[in-house]
Amino acid sequence: MINLAELGRVFIVCGKTDMRRGIDLLAYIVKKSFNLDLFSVCVFLFCGSRRDRFKAHYWDGQGFWLLYKRFENGKLAWPNNEAEVRELSDEQVMRLMQGFTIDQLHCSKVS
């Protein structure tokens, strides 16, 4: 499993994103909607309406990466506020990657 927290600060773009969007359009969202630096050591996470997959947008110093994860079972408990981006702690990133909710104190598997 890839540990996204090892790549740098991790931000979750709340609300649903059109998962057909690629690197350039996801970068545009980060820059125009949230005025965040695309070329910093950060990972930006996006989720669609199905909530069983997400994309990670990352700059490695030479180019952009677009990582895609789809869960075979269950759905993500993704925050709904589309005007919000939140920074995740290392623990929240690990819970998200394992299919758990990020906002609960006690982990419960997303169904």
Helices (H), 1-107: 23-28, 34, 90-97
pLDDT digits (tens, 9 = 90+) for 49-62: 988 999 999 999 99
Going by their DSSP bridges, the two strands 85-88 and 9-13 should be labelled as antiparallel
Task: Sheet containing 53-59: give its strands across.
Answer: 64-70, 53-59, 42-47, 9-13, 85-88
pTM of the model: 0.84
> What value does the mean pLDDT take over residues 79-86?
82
Read off the pLDDT of residues 10-69 as tens digits, 9 standing for 90 and up: 999 989 999 999 999 999 999 998 989 989 989 999 999 988 999 999 999 999 999 999
